[in-house]
């Protein structure tokens, strides 16, 4: 009797896991669809619809959170709310310091400011300035005296 019960419970467990997995895949696919609809709406300038689509995507899966946050910050930029957009980009970079779109967008915001030096921090990553720096100091070569 114990064997039958164990087999029955194992079968239920397998069916439950498969059901949960199938729902998870469906939810991710729906999340992607909502995200893509949000992107399309944003490109058309329909920010209200884009926001709603992004929210639906987040309800189904948080997997696309930083992408959605980035796109929302871009909407803020497009509406002229540069301070709010910058704060959102910085929040993204706290979560993922290597997320290049947020760095590029912050660079663009700071490039519009009178003191453009802050933008350099973000452009440095974009252009990989560290890789381009010389490995040693530069020595000026000997000069020839002008001929008379």
Residue 18 has pLDDT above 70, yes or no: no
pLDDT tens track for 114-127? 877 788 777 777 77
Give the C-alpha distances (Å, rounded to integers) separating 48 from 34, 35, 39, 44: 14, 14, 12, 11
Contact in structure between 87 and 76 (CB atoms under 8 Å): no
Per-residue DSSP letter, 135: S
Contact in structure between 69 and 88 (CB atoms under 8 Å): yes
Residue 133 has pLDDT above 90, yes or no: no
pLDDT tens track for 2-13? 665 555 545 544
Spacing of C-alpha 107 from chain mean position: 15
Res 114: pLDDT: 83
CA nearest neighbour of 54 among 45, 44, 40: 40
Mean of pLDDT over the chain:
79
Output the six-digit token pair for 9.
């419970």
Residue 74: count other Cβ atoms within 10 Å of its Cβ.
20
């Amino acid at each position: 009797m114990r064997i039958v019960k164990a087999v029955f419970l194992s079968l239920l467990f397998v069916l439950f896991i498969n059901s949960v997995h199938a729902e998870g895949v469906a939810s991710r696919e729906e999340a992607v669809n909502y995200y893509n609809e949000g992107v399309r709406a944003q490109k058309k300038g329909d920010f209200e619809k884009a926001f709603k689509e992004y929210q639906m995507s987040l309800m189904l899966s948080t997997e696309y959170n930083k992408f959605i946050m980035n796109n929302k910050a871009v909407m803020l930029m497009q509406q002229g709310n540069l301070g709010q957009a910058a704060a959102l980009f910085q929040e993204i970079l706290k979560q993922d310091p290597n997320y290049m779109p947020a760095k590029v967008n912050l660079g663009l915001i700071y490039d519009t400011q009178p003191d453009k030096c802050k933008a350099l921090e973000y452009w440095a990553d974009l252009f990989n300035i560290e890789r381009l720096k010389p490995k040693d100091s530069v020595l000026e070569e000997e000069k020839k005296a002008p001929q008379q």
